[in-house]
C-alpha cells in the first residue's frame, strides 16, 4: 500500500508570513498533484509535477517535486487570508491504461489570519 504523509497537519499563521507544506512517501510516483479544498467543496487542482526535481510557480505558490519522485513541497510566500483552506497532495500511478490511481495525503489545514 502506498502512503503519502503530509506535514504539518494544521498551520495557523498571520497574513504576510511564509510557510512550507511537505508531502513524503517511500514510494515513487509518476506524477504528483497538489489540490486546495475549501469547506463544502471538492478539491481544486493547483498544479501537477512530473519530472524529478521539477519546480513550478503559481503566483506566490512554489511547488517542487523531489529528485527521486517520492516527495514534494509547497511553499507559500506572503500568505494571504484567501490562501486559507485544506491543501492535499496526491501521488499518481498509472493503472493499466484504465485511468490513473491517486493516493492522497492526509492534508494540511491552513488558516491565514488577517
Partner 1 sequence: ETGVTQTPRHLVMGMTNKKSLKCEQHLGHNAMYWYKQSAKKPLELMFVYSLEERVENNSVPSRFSPECPNSSHLFLHLHTLQPEDSALYLCASSQATGGYEQYFGPGTRLTVT
Site residues for partner 1 per CB under 8 A:
4, 30-31, 33, 35, 40-45, 48, 50, 88, 90, 92, 95-102, 104-107
Instruction: Output the nine-digit C-alpha cell for 48.
Output: 501537477
**What b/e string do you get for 23-42 counting C-beta neighbours within 10 Å, with b at 16 or more?**
bbbeeebebbbbbbeeeeee
Of the pair 44, 78, the CB lying nearest partner 1 is at: 44
Q: How far is the CB of 79 from partner 1 (least distance, A)?
A: 24
Cβ atoms < 10 Å from Cβ of 68:
10
Q: How far is the CB of 13 from partner 1 (least distance, A)?
A: 23
Q: Considering all CA atoms of the chain, what is the largest pairwise distance in Å, rounded to the nearest integer?
A: 47
Of the pair 79, 87, the CB lying nearest partner 1 is at: 87
Q: How far is the CB of 1 from partner 1 (least distance, A)?
A: 11
Of the pair 79, 90, the CB lying nearest partner 1 is at: 90
Q: How far is the CB of 74 from partner 1 (least distance, A)?
A: 16
Q: What angle is formed at CA 85 by the lines to CA 108 and CA 66, rounded to 5 degrees?
A: 45
Question: Position of cell 508570513?
Answer: 17
Amino acid at each position: 500500500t502506498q502512503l503519502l504523509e503530509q506535514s504539518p497537519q494544521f498551520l495557523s499563521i498571520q497574513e504576510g508570513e511564509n510557510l512550507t507544506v511537505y508531502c513524503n512517501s517511500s514510494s515513487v510516483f509518476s506524477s504528483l498533484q497538489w489540490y486546495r479544498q475549501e469547506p463544502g467543496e471538492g478539491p481544486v487542482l493547483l498544479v501537477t509535477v512530473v519530472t524529478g526535481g521539477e519546480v513550478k510557480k503559481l503566483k506566490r505558490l512554489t511547488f517542487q517535486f523531489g529528485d527521486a519522485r517520492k516527495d514534494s513541497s509547497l511553499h507559500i510566500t506572503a500568505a494571504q487570508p484567501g490562501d486559507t483552506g485544506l491543501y492535499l497532495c496526491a501521488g499518481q500511478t498509472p493503472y493499466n491504461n484504465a485511468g490513473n490511481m491517486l493516493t492522497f495525503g492526509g492534508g494540511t489545514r491552513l488558516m491565514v489570519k488577517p
